[in-house]
Amino acid sequence: MFYFYTIVKARSHNKTEKTKIKMSNSKATKRTFNKLIKENNLFINVKSAFNGMIDGCETFNNGFEKVEQTDHCINNTYGINGAWLVNGGRDYFTHYENETLIGVEVYNACGSFVLATTK
């Protein structure tokens, strides 16, 4: 079973409570990505990125790294260094899970990356 945890605020008491969202039967979407970026303990694995020198995507094998914030192109990076979303329905999302991490894998014309949080 594939589970994803997110923090939500209870309206009546202004308390934060941990809610479990079941994602095994659901499709990963941009909404799933948006919920994930609100987590505190995020890791990113950039698999490929666009390189203008070769006019195409080049692959990387860096593994997971702690997410660093950026102010560059907020509409496309969502404040995450290494992430790039094309937007306009041209991003493809799939679920990702390994022994210690759970998250979303993103593919588009500018590359691919996995954004995940600890289980």
Which DSSP string corresponds to 47-65? EEEEETTTTEEEE-----E
Residues linked to residue 8 through DSSP beta bridges, in sequence order: 17
Of residues 12 and 115, more confidence is placed in 115
pLDDT in tens, 49-106: 999 999 999 998 889 999 999 999 999 999 999 999 999 889 999 999 999 999 999 9
Residue 35 in contact with residue 6, Cβ under 8 Å? Answer: yes
pTM confidence score: 0.76
- Tell me what pLDDT residue 25 has: 62
Residue type, 96: Y
- Tell me what pLDDT residue 22 has: 45
Distance CA 84, CA 99 (A): 25
Distance CA 65, CA 1 (A): 25
